[in-house]
Structure 1
Amino acid sequence: MDAVKLAAIGALLLAASGVAILTGVLSAADAGAIADRVWPILLFVVAVTIVAELSATAGVFDMAAAWLARAARGRVLVLWLLIVGLAVVVTAFLSLDTTAVLLTPVVVAVARANGLPPLPFAFTTVWLANTASLFLPVSNLTNLLAAHRLGGTDAGAFLALLGPSAVVAASVTAGLLWLVHRRALRGRFTPASPPRVADAVLLRLSALVLVVMMPLLVSGLPPWQPALAGAIALVALFAWRSPGTLRLGLVPWQLIVFASGLFLAAGALDALGSGALLAAVTGSGDDLPSLWQLAGTGMLGANAVNNLPAYLALEPVADSPVRLAALLAGVGAGPLITPWASLATLLWHARLSAVGVAVPWRRYVVWGLVAAPVTVALAVVPLALR
């Protein structure tokens, strides 16, 4: 699914939502409430995308990965473990899409520069982009949607609830990745020379913006505020140092159209009574079997359609903080089976194709059939123990 198709689907959903409003299925007041809930989320997505894109252009991610290669001192397993840590941090603070889109080509380039097979590193970024997206509200669009029911912008409250599950999900993922790729992760390599820095001032100041912005994202401020401030700072910096880099394409217009249409369409379906039907499938209660039932339904929905519509459809039946957290575990850590299960996976595949790395989809699906249910099931256990 390329950007044009994504925008086309969003336009169709917006048109269908418009019909729902005109026919009274979705009231104007309900549509307004959806818009009021969604605009800060979409503004954050736009701002953090600009920050990530410009930081990557400045070479921040390239230099970070090159530093990790030197820090590994020629040991392949150590380099991979450092990449795992970097993927978790980038996903937690800058969202899963940033890991999939911007970190993937960087780790592929590092692997190639050091004479290592790129696929183990590429699979690491896409799996952790999904499973490490449970740490913070800003890690995933579904988390931001749920945040208003889980302490708002209070990252501490979110982390207190989902932190243990996030640690389990990321740890299980890393363990499974090592098990699958253990042969390729043995041995040593000769560290390559660091990449050339085109503009050292641009690199250092871009890195400084990231370092300042990331803790502010979890400071209790609405996430769109520090993200927007970071985007403005980097746009001003690039206007000074590299004005030719700035373009309208930095704004993810297609994602905005898609998400807007999806939010309104989900509101219309809820008004038609979809919640009652889904409640029969997902059950009720905060015990472990009930939480597994809800998380499993979310995982299946994400892999059948996509994680965002799966979350929006199931949100009304997640009627307690623990059940909502279980749903987030299902739609966040579960999209590991089908290529369309999350937008991050589709973007990951596009970036790999652009750098000439073929994705063995059959292998991806087979491994995902094992990894997704195991990761989701274990990530839900800490929620039941509360």
Structure 2
Amino acid sequence: MVLVGAVVRPFGLPEAVVAVPAAALAVATGVISPAHARDEAGVLGPVVGFLAAVLVLAKLCDDEGLFRAGGAWLARTSRGRPRRLLVATFLLASGVTAVLSLDATVVLLTPVVFATVARLGAGPKPHVYACAHLSNTASLLLPVSNLTNLLAFAASGLSFLRFAALMALPWLVAIAAEYLVLRRYFAAELDAGAAGAADADEPVERPVFALVTVACTLAGFAVASAVGVEPAWVAAAGALVLAVRALARRRTTALAVVRAASLPFLAFVLALGVVVRAVVDNGLADALGRLVPGAQSLPALLAAAALAALLANLINNLPAVLVLLPLAAPAGPGMVLAVLLGVNIGPNLTYAGSLATLLWRRIVHQHDHEVELGEFTRLGLLTVPAALVPAVVALWGSLLVLGG
């Protein structure tokens, strides 16, 4: 019911409208004890705090003109040529997803890509699909790129830099596989010439302050990990710097900053965690425990990633990672990262695979662009295996070389 409510959002109501009562009902009926519910909330608390901070950070970066500058760069780099535009979109979306999280790619970059392809006269489909797929696949690199990463980071016992080092090669391999498949699948659209780029050189103010703030925030994540400080505090510091500047210049209001944190969605994440914990405590952990491998060999990593990808499409990737991490952690950080590959790449198969994909679908509809379920699924059937298998092999190689 919680997942259906998140997908359908009856009457446009927030996801929390179903999730919070469901969590309360689970506690009230004894399906999960209050102590276990508090434990789960304690585990998710830092993750939810980070999500709030990074949503505010991304929105304030948008107010500073960071994404408008990104759109101008896309237009200037592509010069109206669809294939070059796809390469530029991949580069920009991968960077935004890795540094500012997948929500920034879906909510802030996708509308910019729509506007850019309209200016250039290119077909939007390949580039908009790239935003959807890379919001999932390109979120593999850093612990702060995705909520699932933060949970896996905590379970793995790795440092920030070691996590990034182990995931760098899988990240590059998965993105390259996505690019090759999308380029082949949308060959007809990409071969069609664009109408031109008359305004591609339109001057746009460089968002230097936002870029410096984001760079300092990213460096702060690595330092904070070394001294045992939660990433949420670093993200909050970056958001605070931009918020003070925006408020002083009257570019935003305190209410707008609070709204950017998306409090109903934060409540949904907490409530979903409690509901998933209730399901795990009542038999799901035992059922899946027999399927999760206990070693870090290549076949075991492939099996774990495939199981995680399948589960992500059945129950959404956030519940899937909450279920699988306690089962994978005893086998070592390599198994945890294999699960992460599955829950991050796997959601490109179906709409319900991740919340980001659901949100992307709504944004696409707002731009009067139809997304066909059949096409989305066909493309997912091509990209998910093509990206997941070589990414797991790359992870296995990174573990052999770097240890883990």
CA distance in 2, matches of 1:195, 1:344: 32
Mapping for residues 104-123 of structure 1, pairs under 5 Å: 104-123=110-129
Q: Which residue of 1 aligns with 2:147?
A: 141
**Offset of 1:12 from its aligned partner?**
2.9
User: Would you say how many aligned residue pairs link Structure 1 and Structure 2?
Assistant: 380
Q: Which residue of 1 aligns with 2:3?
A: none
Taking the aligned partners of 2:201 and 2:54, their CA distance within structure 1 comes to 25
Question: What TM-score does the superposition give when structure 1 sets the normalisation length?
Answer: 0.90
The answer to whether the 8 Å contact 1:7/1:257 transfers is yes
1:299 aligns with 2:322: no
Partners of 2:201 and 2:246 lie apart in 1 by 20
1:10 paired with 2:9, answer: no
1:158 offset after TM fit, Å?
0.5
Q: How does 1:61-80 map to 2 (within 5 A)?
A: 61-80=67-86
Matched-pair contact (CA < 8 Å) for 2:148–2:340: yes
Question: Aligned equivalents of 1:211 and 1:191: distance in 2?
Answer: 31
Structure 1 gap segments, 5+ residues each: none
1:357 aligns with 2:369: yes
**Comparing 285-294 and 255-264, the one that deviates more:** 285-294
**Offset at 1:337?**
1.7
Q: Does structure 1 residue 81 correspond to structure 2 residue 87? A: yes
Q: Find the aligned partners of 1:60 and 1:4 in 2 and give their Cα distance.
A: 30
Aligned partner of 1:184 in structure 2 is 189
CA distance in 2, matches of 1:224, 1:13: 27
| Alpha-carbon distance between aligned partners in 2 of 1:24 and 1:79, rounded to the nearest angstrom | 52
Cα distance per residue 1:145-200 (max 9 Å; x no partner): 11123345x321112322222221111111111111123223466324269889x5
Matches of 2:155 and 2:289, distance apart in 1: 19
1:195-247: per-residue Cα shift (whole Å, max 9, x none)?
9889x59x543344334323333444432122101211222222222355542
Flag as ranges the 4+ runs of structure 1 deviating above 6 A.
195-198
For the residues of structure 1 that align with 2:308 and 2:242, how far apart are their CA atoms? 37
User: Which residues of structure 2 form unaligned runs of 5+?
Assistant: 1-6
- What displacement does 1:328 show? 0.5
Say which of 257, 277, 286 aligns to 2:287.
277
| Aligned partner (choices 204, 216, 219) of residue 215 of structure 1 | 219
Q: Distance in 1 between matches of 2:65 and 2:136?
A: 24
Structure 2 length normalisation: TM-score?
0.86
- Alignment-derived partner of residue 124 in structure 1: 130
The answer to whether the Cα contact below 8 Å between 2:120 and 2:194 also exists between their aligned partners in 1 is no
- Residues 25 and 369 of structure 1, relative CA distance in 2, 3 Å threshold: same
In 2: Cα distance, 1:338 partner to 1:214 partner: 31
Structure 1 residues 226-276: Cα deviation after superposition (integer angstroms, max 9, x where no partner): 210121122222222235554242121222111101222233333334322
Whole-angstrom CA distance in 2 between matches of 1:250 and 1:197: 28
Query: Residues 147 and 232 (structure 1 numbering): CA distance in 2 closer, same or farther, change over 3 Å?
Result: same
The one-letter code of the counterpart of 1:147 is F
> Match of 1:250?
260
Tell whether the 8 Å contact from 1:304 to 1:338 is kept in structure 2 after alignment: no
C-alpha contact (below 8 Å) 1:10/1:258 kept by paired residues:
yes
